[in-house]
Structure 1
Amino acid sequence: MLGGSGAAPTSAGSGRTAAPAPTPAPTGPEASLALAPVPEPPAITLEEAMQAVLEHSFDLRIAAEQVTRSEIQLRKAWALLLPTISASASYTYNFPSEEVYFVDREQLDQQALLYDSIAQILEQSAMFITDPDERQAAEERAQQLRAVAKKLSDTEPEPVTINPPHVFGANVSVAIPLFNGRAIPLLKNAYEAVDLSRAVLAQQQASLLYATLRTYYGAVAAQALVASARRQLDAAQAHRRTVARQVELKTATRIALQRADLEVVRGEQQLRVAEQAYRNARAALGQLMAREEEFEVVEPGALPPPPPTADVEALEARALAVRPEIVAQSAALEIAERMRTEAWMRYLPSLSLVGSGRYNSNTSGFINDPFTGAVTVRLDWPLWDGGLREANLRETASRIREERLRLAQLEQKIRAEVRGNVADLALKEKAVETAEHGYALARATQADAKRLFELGAATSLDVIDANLAAFFAEVELTRAKLDLAQARLALAYVLGELTPEVAHGGE
């Protein structure tokens, strides 16, 4: 039968211990590999584990993007109250172009003939005027009329382009909202949505920190159970060596040695189980930290602090004041109430001021100035929208009732969590006291059994039973401390005390 690390194989049919066969020493490259030191995995403290979880969690990064998106929505809400400026430009090619002649060659000749005839009449009448000044004035008017007639005769008819082939246009408009009743509640809801998304982020941070703390303390407890299993194996191996010496001295039977060997085998199995549990606990913690490399955990040094007060009502009030879920649900209720205000605001008109400036390159027609502008005061008042506003009012009223019920349900749940965790914490504290007392008794019994066995006043079975009792008492104490730590963590979680500051050493 094979024993533990302190046991050697026995030869069949005798009580003598057979010497193990020597193992040849490795040579060549194998020797250098065998002698190369294996690096110890780094130790991760509790604070480092929490910081790693906060930095690498996909859930937190998604929640942070939701906060960013809500802040962007806030900027959109402001757009309902701020002026808007728009500009546009256009180019138009017209085919065919349209031209209009308002005067032709015949009309110009007739007008020239008319002016020339009037000038001739003035010249003839000037011959009969006796006053030299009046005669000169008449002659000058006649000359002016002949000049106009000559100009009309020399003028070629020009068309007026109504629709030119190439037209360039531009427009700039500024719209200033003077009154929009819906914009105010929507803007406030946008701010509230930012607070809501931040509260959701805080709630996810608290949940991850709680899971990290529970997992880390579980890994520390698993590490302690490995140490307990090693001590149990050491005690079993030491007892086996003592029994082996007594067998050689003919003061103990071979049955006692076989029983001691069996306890060594059990101790080795318990150690393997404890080590596997420790590996599983570290793997769960590594998954939270997004870490695949091997690492060790470090004993935090002390259990989580107890609650600040034993007054259950004060703890309930504290939890209801700071829990992120309450903050988020309260924000959701305020958003629902403002949405009802926004539904009422749909009955009011909206008033805006619009200023626009236009440019058009087509100035050959009836428009002389290419630049024009206009200022408009616009009032929009929806008188009937098919019953949509009434439906929105009923919908928002139902939404408010729903959010109030959710808030009341959440408050009831948190109060129950606080009361349950306070009661559970008291039970776990009593369990630690009982486990410490039991472990002290088991250790004393173990020491007495070992001493009495060496004196011949106790049997090997007494020592084995005492060792097992001490091991199970130590395991029970470790688990009781883990339960107490997790109970305090659970109470800290329901009180809303698990914030990112805890991961950085804050109180």
Structure 2
Amino acid sequence: MKMRFVSKLAVSLVLACQLCPQTVLAQAQTPLEPTPSSAAPTAQVISLEEALRRVDAQNQDLAQVRARTEEAQGIARQALAALLPVLVATGAYTRNNEGATIEFSRFLDTLEQGLSQIAQRPITLDRSGAPADRIIQPLDALTVNGTLRLPLFAANAYWDVLAAKEGVNAANASVSVARQRTRSALLRALWLGSTAEAFVEVAQRGVNTSEQYVKTAERAVGAGTSVPLAVLRAQTELARRQKELSEARNKLEAVRLSIGLLLGEQQPVQVQLPPLEMPGTLAEDALIEEALKARAEVGVQEAMRRAADHGITSAWWRLAPTLTATGSVFASDTPFLTGDKTGWRAALELTWTLYDGGLRYGKLRQARGNLARVQAEKKGLELQISQEIRNALREFRLGQEQLTLSERQRALAQEAARTAQSSFEGGVASYTEVLDTLDRLYQAEAGEQEARARLAIAIITLKTARGQVW
């Protein structure tokens, strides 16, 4: 029974957020209008623009992808640090077990005495240029030091920075992918909700038709053209339609509540859907080419490929030497051997690692493997997009065909129901024939709404597959 489609809407709504979009090929037609519905008094009615804004702001899957973008930016900043100056300030207090001092005055006194004894006469040395006493090891010392380290040549770090920036580009493109999929899933869910609303309308029409048939059966029994069993059958049919209407309303309320939860609301939400524009006619190859240029997933893979290329270049440059300039200033509360309490030094350091245990060759092998993996993923994505478009083309054409046939079936069922009821009133047709035509009419109307929803989802899939953002 077509009402089973309604019973699956709540589950389908939840699963819709996890669906991967497919692609379709469309033909230019009039826009697909959502079925008008009567909103429940308790449902909050919002526009599609507001619904898309809320899902962008409150969807947790999208928030996780944005957080990964922040992580990628942090990694890029870390890689850049290897090319920038490093300034370090240190302070230290030292306590030795004893102090040691060179006393130059006592040393000169001893030297004069020795020379005088040798020369057998007093000898006095000129002490005008003699240094003062020098502390070799202070008992207590408080020192401060500032060091500036500047990388002059570190080629592998430069390519690491480029690779990290491509990682940021890939993360930003991933945000676009997640946003597009989230919005597409929301639209699918909203059209499923619109179908639930349409089933309520179908069920209500079924109740109205059954009520008219009860009255017709009662008149036919009163006129003697039918048996009392017809009234009982009509009343049974009415009870069944009323039950279906009650179930349809309950499912509709559940669907609206699920949409509200999807948007971060605790109350039922009804979204006013605009008509879906039918896409223009395009060749299959043109659609594939367009998708390969516009899909954000392709941008992600391309950024990852560039990052892998930079990784290989960085691995090769690890074989080259590095050149670093270092400058420092220092001060102490105790004079150094020079007699000053402050000083500075500058140095150029060339480092060339001749053998590191195979680390650099391991890095190179890892980078090559990463590039091969990314290239295979990119090729697989291109094949997937191509297959999605072909599958979607088939689904779209099937959806168009089914909607056309469903509309025709519904029109024929309406005419058959009118004819059967008129024949029953004239005593030509039996009540069994009337009930059969009414049931077929109900099934035809339900099938039309199901086909309409299927075609709407196919149109949504097309726009998503072509890389267009809602």
TM-score, normalisation: structure 1: 0.77
Aligned pairs for 1:152-167 within 5 A: 161-167=135-141
Measure, in 1, the Cα distance between the counterparts of 2:446 and 2:44.
26
Measure, in 2, the Cα distance between the counterparts of 1:186 and 1:159.
53
User: Judging changes above 3 Å, is the alpha-carbon distance between structure 1 residues 160 and 481 closer, same or farther for their aligned structure 2 residues?
Assistant: closer
Partner of 2:293: 321
User: Judging changes above 3 Å, is the alpha-carbon distance between structure 1 residues 104 and 79 closer, same or farther for their aligned structure 2 residues?
Assistant: closer
Residue 434 in 1 paired to residue 408 in 2?
no
Partner of 1:47: 49
Residues 429-452 of structure 1: CA distance to partner in whole angstroms, max 9, x if unpaired? 111111111112222222333334
Q: Counterpart of 1:412 in structure 2: which amino acid?
A: L
Partner of 1:279: 253
1:309 touches 1:315 (CA, 8 Å); kept in 2?
no
Residues 266-319 of structure 1: CA distance to partner in whole angstroms, max 9, x if unpaired? 102221332233234334423322322123343x242x3233432110100111
The counterpart of 2:146, out of the listed 135, 150, 172, is 172
Question: Please, which runs of 5 or more residues in structure 2 have no aligned partner?
Answer: 1-39, 126-131
Partner of 1:84: 86
Q: Counterpart of 1:339 in structure 2: which amino acid?
A: G
The counterpart of 2:176, out of the listed 202, 207, 222, is 202
Deviation, 1:76, is 1.8
Residue 382 in 1 paired to residue 353 in 2?
yes
Q: Counterpart of 2:267 in structure 1: which amino acid?
A: E
Residue 226 in 1 paired to residue 197 in 2?
no
Partner of 1:360: 332
1:46 touches 1:216 (CA, 8 Å); kept in 2?
no
Residue 217 in 1 paired to residue 185 in 2?
no
User: Judging changes above 3 Å, is the alpha-carbon distance between structure 1 residues 366 and 49 closer, same or farther for their aligned structure 2 residues?
Assistant: closer
Measure, in 2, the Cα distance between the counterparts of 1:110 and 1:474.
126
Deviation, 1:49, is 2.4
Deviation, 1:179, is 1.1
User: Judging changes above 3 Å, is the alpha-carbon distance between structure 1 residues 81 and 159 closer, same or farther for their aligned structure 2 residues?
Assistant: closer
Deviation, 1:320, is 0.8
Aligned pairs for 1:135-146 within 5 A: none
**Other structure's SS at 1:473 match:** helix
Measure, in 1, the Cα distance between the counterparts of 2:280 and 2:80.
44
The counterpart of 1:244, out of the listed 218, 222, 227, is 218
The counterpart of 2:452, out of the listed 464, 478, 481, is 481
1:169 touches 1:360 (CA, 8 Å); kept in 2?
yes
Deviation, 1:418, is 0.5
Measure, in 2, the Cα distance between the counterparts of 1:444 and 1:47.
40
Residues 186-245 of structure 1: CA distance to partner in whole angstroms, max 9, x if unpaired? 111111111111111111112211211111100100110011001101110121122223
Q: Counterpart of 2:420 in structure 1: which amino acid?
A: A
Residue 450 in 1 paired to residue 421 in 2?
yes
Partner of 1:32: none
Deviation, 1:105, is 12
Partner of 1:95: 97
User: Judging changes above 3 Å, is the alpha-carbon distance between structure 1 residues 367 and 474 closer, same or farther for their aligned structure 2 residues?
Assistant: same
User: Judging changes above 3 Å, is the alpha-carbon distance between structure 1 residues 103 and 310 closer, same or farther for their aligned structure 2 residues?
Assistant: closer
**Other structure's SS at 1:482 match:** helix
User: Judging changes above 3 Å, is the alpha-carbon distance between structure 1 residues 159 and 412 closer, same or farther for their aligned structure 2 residues?
Assistant: closer
Measure, in 2, the Cα distance between the counterparts of 1:203 and 1:330.
14
Deviation, 1:367, is 2.4
Q: Counterpart of 2:395 in structure 1: which amino acid?
A: D
Measure, in 1, the Cα distance between the counterparts of 2:133 and 2:349.
41
User: Judging changes above 3 Å, is the alpha-carbon distance between structure 1 residues 110 and 400 closer, same or farther for their aligned structure 2 residues?
Assistant: closer
Measure, in 2, the Cα distance between the counterparts of 1:240 and 1:489.
43
Q: Counterpart of 2:183 in structure 1: which amino acid?
A: L
User: Judging changes above 3 Å, is the alpha-carbon distance between structure 1 residues 495 and 457 closer, same or farther for their aligned structure 2 residues?
Assistant: same
Aligned pairs for 1:262-411 within 5 A: 262-298=236-272, 300-302=273-275, 304-363=276-335, 366-411=337-382
Measure, in 2, the Cα distance between the counterparts of 1:428 and 1:440.
18
Partner of 1:69: 71
User: Judging changes above 3 Å, is the alpha-carbon distance between structure 1 residues 106 and 439 closer, same or farther for their aligned structure 2 residues?
Assistant: closer
**Other structure's SS at 1:333 match:** helix
Partner of 1:131: none
**Other structure's SS at 1:182 match:** helix
User: Judging changes above 3 Å, is the alpha-carbon distance between structure 1 residues 98 and 493 closer, same or farther for their aligned structure 2 residues?
Assistant: same
Partner of 2:27: none
User: Judging changes above 3 Å, is the alpha-carbon distance between structure 1 residues 80 and 276 closer, same or farther for their aligned structure 2 residues?
Assistant: same
Partner of 2:159: 185
**Other structure's SS at 1:486 match:** helix
Q: Counterpart of 2:250 in structure 1: which amino acid?
A: Q
Percentage of pairs with the same residue: 26
Measure, in 1, the Cα distance between the counterparts of 2:411 and 2:41.
37
For structure 1, which segment, 390-399 or 191-200, has the greater mean C-alpha deviation from structure 2 after superposition?
390-399
**Other structure's SS at 1:49 match:** helix
User: Judging changes above 3 Å, is the alpha-carbon distance between structure 1 residues 225 and 386 closer, same or farther for their aligned structure 2 residues?
Assistant: same
Q: Work out the number of aligned pairs and report it.
A: 426
